[in-house]
């Protein structure tokens, strides 16, 4: 506790020198209104973290005060919600969000907030040194912060804004905190309210949660309170769907376990891969990439319930083309949650290809995998080759059925290295050289008209180069003529 208090004192002292807060204090004093630093700003100060974005509660006239502040700083005023009386001022990289009290008093405003760790406040006048600094903490938020607990201020606050149900787990993921039993029970009770939340708001919280290193455990917690299937109703049909002898879990729990193992693979790729391990950190450089990979892991088998079949053996199930159905299901979910086209494309790309490495394993194990087949996998997977094999490794680790080969992960790692070597030794060098044959050649020299046949011929030439079957332009032309 004392460390948190010391952090607040030090953080407040650092903030006191900010020109933006000094101007705000002068404007608030002239208007006779009170301003408080609240919520995430105070929480992060207590944790000893920087607070570049400031959350401020204003007793009255918040919008006018924000306009005056923007004008005084020569910054930018952004109206966030006129009805809720919230606005943003952007100035020299700083973001100040001003919101009018949601109750007649500060205590009432804090009571309307989501969690006790966010129901903390500091008087701006005290921050600026005009009076002794005291933490305003009517709901015991500092104690919960010290213990790493997420406690809802009032259960009915979930009903007022059901997005807070997801925010509870977001904070658990990003801060390593635990929900109190009462908060978990309240989430279970109010989970049916969640579909009221706009997709755009869910999208933002969801990606912050999934980007956190311990998101997999949080997804399991969300399922236990019934929230996960409110966020992703597509998961409901996966529950109870049995699989074949390569798996020991139903489709839903296998998918959750795949996310668990994916986080292990991403945290320590050297444990699972050879040369490909060095590529994963580069692949994951955009923070969004890890979240998209986890979505692909959660949804990779979502199409199985719709295509489940059974062979003659009672314990042998089939799920032909489940990846195609999975792409359709995820695309609908992404549309509902307002994913960007690029985000949707990445996840569907991984879902559509997630079976390809496994389909190549038998021939690769026997040393009979052709260069052409390997090249087709690499070409299809780009630019997500590292992500595809990370997903495949997690998928394999999550399946521990009796029919699974003991060396499955070892062989998969060898295939990943072979694919990476093909990319670096053959495909990329070939792409850097002029093509042996172009579409213009097909028109001018072979008299063809543009159409689907173009791509077939050019692809066949490219693949013949991979295999070393042709090396010259004339050989490429001869091959094209033979295909005609």
DSSP string, 286-297: SHHHHHHHHHHH
pLDDT category of residue 314 using cuts at 50, 70 and 90: low
- Residue 144, classed as helix, strand or coil, is helix
Report the pLDDT value the prediction gives residue 126, as an integer from 0 to 100.
96
Task: Please indicate, yes or no, whether residues 339 and 279 belong to a single structural domain of this protein.
Answer: yes
- What CATH number corresponds to the domain at position 193? 1.10.110.30
Task: Please indicate, yes or no, whether residues 372 and 468 belong to a single structural domain of this protein.
Answer: no
pLDDT above 90 (res 229) = yes
pLDDT category of residue 310 using cuts at 50, 70 and 90: low
How many domains are there within the chain? 4
Task: Please indicate, yes or no, whether residues 340 and 395 belong to a single structural domain of this protein.
Answer: yes
Q: Which residue, of 392, 411, 432, is where some domain finishes?
A: 432
**Token output for 350:** 């991984």
pLDDT category of residue 312 using cuts at 50, 70 and 90: very low
284 CB-near residues (< 8 Å, 6+ apart):
266, 290, 293
Task: Please indicate, yes or no, whether residues 223 and 372 belong to a single structural domain of this protein.
Answer: no
Task: Please indicate, yes or no, whether residues 128 and 193 belong to a single structural domain of this protein.
Answer: no
Task: Please indicate, yes or no, whether residues 184 and 330 belong to a single structural domain of this protein.
Answer: no
Helices 251-267 and 215-224, interaxial angle, to 10°? 160
Task: Please indicate, yes or no, whether residues 344 and 355 belong to a single structural domain of this protein.
Answer: yes
Residue 91, CB-side half-sphere exposure with 13 Å CA sphere: 22
Lowest pLDDT segment from 214-228, 308-322, 378-392: 308-322
Task: Please indicate, yes or no, whether residues 324 and 226 belong to a single structural domain of this protein.
Answer: no
Q: Which residue, of 407, 432, 457, is where some domain finishes?
A: 432
Q: Among all chains, which residue has been given the structure tokens 């049916």?
A: 192
Report the pLDDT value the prediction gives residue 266, as an integer from 0 to 100.
96
Lowest pLDDT segment from 41-55, 135-149, 408-422: 41-55
Nearest one of 335, 326, 331 to 395, comparing CA atoms: 326
- Distance (Å, rounded) from C-alpha 260 to C-alpha 267? 11
Residues in the chain: 484
Long-range pairs for 25-28: beta carbons < 8 A, 24 or more residues apart? 25/124, 25/125, 25/128, 25/130, 27/65, 27/68, 27/69, 27/72, 28/58, 28/65, 28/124
Stretch 346-375: mean pLDDT, rounded? Answer: 94
**Token output for 247:** 């798996």
Check residue 434 and report its DSSP letter.
P
Buried b vs exposed e over 270-305: b needs ≥16 C-beta within 10 Å? Answer: eebbeebbebbeebbeeebbbbbbbbbbbbbbbbbb
Are the beta carbons of 321 and 307 closer than 8 angstroms? yes
- Distance (Å, rounded) from C-alpha 143 to C-alpha 1? 7
* Domain of 263, in residue numbers: 233-432
Stretch 142-171: mean pLDDT, rounded? Answer: 97
pLDDT digits (tens, 9 = 90+) for 186-196: 999 999 999 99
- Distance (Å, rounded) from C-alpha 385 to C-alpha 395? 15
pLDDT above 90 (res 404) = no
Q: Tell me the range of 285-289, 453-457, 477-481 where mean pLDDT is highest.
A: 285-289
pLDDT digits (tens, 9 = 90+) for 82-114: 999 999 999 999 999 999 999 999 999 999 999
Task: Please indicate, yes or no, whether residues 71 and 25 belong to a single structural domain of this protein.
Answer: yes
Task: Please indicate, yes or no, whether residues 275 and 416 belong to a single structural domain of this protein.
Answer: yes
Q: Which residue, of 90, 114, 147, is where some domain finishes?
A: 147
pLDDT digits (tens, 9 = 90+) for 122-141: 999 999 999 999 999 999 99
- Distance (Å, rounded) from C-alpha 54 to C-alpha 269? 37
Are the beta carbons of 22 and 96 closer than 8 angstroms? no
Percentage of the chain exceeding pLDDT 70: 97
Task: Please indicate, yes or no, whether residues 75 and 111 belong to a single structural domain of this protein.
Answer: yes
């Amino acid at each position: 506790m004392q460390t948190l208090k010391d952090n607040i004192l030090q953080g407040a002292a650092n903030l006191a020198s900010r020109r933006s807060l000094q101007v705000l204090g002068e404007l608030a004093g002239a208007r006779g209104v009170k301003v408080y630093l609240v919520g995430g700003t105070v929480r992060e100060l207590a944790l000893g973290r920087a607070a570049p974005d400031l959350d401020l509660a204003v007793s009255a006239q918040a919008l006018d005060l924000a306009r005056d502040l923007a004008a005084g700083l020569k910054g930018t005023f952004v109206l966030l919600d006129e009805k809720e009386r919230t606005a943003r001022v952007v100035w020299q990289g700083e973001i100040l969000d001003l919101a009018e009290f949601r109750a007649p008093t500060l205590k009432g405003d804090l009571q309307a907030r989501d969690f006790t760790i966010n129901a903390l406040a500091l008087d701006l006048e005290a921050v600026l040194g005009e009076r002794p600094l005291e933490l305003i903490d009517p709901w015991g938020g500092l104690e919960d912060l010290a213990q790493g607990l997420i406690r809802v201020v009032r259960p009915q606050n979930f009903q007022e804004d059901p997005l807070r149900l997801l925010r509870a787990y977001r904070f658990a993921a990003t801060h390593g905190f635990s929900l109190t039993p009462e908060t978990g029970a309240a989430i279970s009770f109010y989970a049916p309210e969640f579909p009221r939340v706009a997709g755009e708001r869910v999208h933002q919280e969801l990606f912050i949660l999934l980007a956190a290193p311990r998101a997999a455990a949080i997804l399991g917690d969300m399922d236990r309170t019934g929230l996960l299937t409110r966020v992703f109703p597509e998961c409901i049909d996966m529950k109870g769907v049995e699989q074949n002898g390569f798996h020991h879990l139903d489709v839903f729990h296998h998918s959750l376990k795949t996310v668990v193992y994916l986080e292990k693979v991403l945290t320590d790729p050297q444990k699972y891969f050879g040369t490909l391990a060095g590529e994963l950190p580069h692949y994951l450089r955009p923070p969004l990439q890890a979240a998209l990979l986890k979505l692909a892991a959660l949804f990779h088998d979502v199409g199985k319930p719709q295509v489940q079949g059974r062979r003659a053996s009672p314990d042998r199930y089939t799920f032909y083309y489940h990846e195609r159905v999975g792409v359709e299901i995820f695309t609908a979910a992404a549309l509902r949650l307002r994913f960007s086209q690029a985000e949707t494309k990445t996840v569907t790309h991984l879902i559509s290809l997630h079976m390809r490495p496994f389909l190549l394993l038998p021939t690769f194990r026997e040393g009979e995998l052709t260069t052409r087949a390997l090249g087709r996998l690499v070409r299809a997977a780009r630019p997500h080759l590292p992500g595809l094999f990370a997903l495949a490794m997690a998928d394999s680790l999550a399946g521990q059925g009796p029919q699974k080969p003991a060396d499955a992960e070892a062989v998969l790692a060898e295939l990943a290295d072979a694919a990476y070597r093909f990319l670096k030794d053959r495909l990329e060098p070939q792409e850097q050289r002029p093509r042996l044959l172009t579409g213009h050649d097909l028109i001018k020299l072979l008299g063809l008209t543009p159409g689907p046949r173009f791509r077939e011929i050019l692809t066949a030439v490219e693949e013949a180069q991979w295999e070393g079957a042709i090396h010259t332009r004339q050989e490429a032309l001869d091959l094209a003529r033979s295909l005609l």
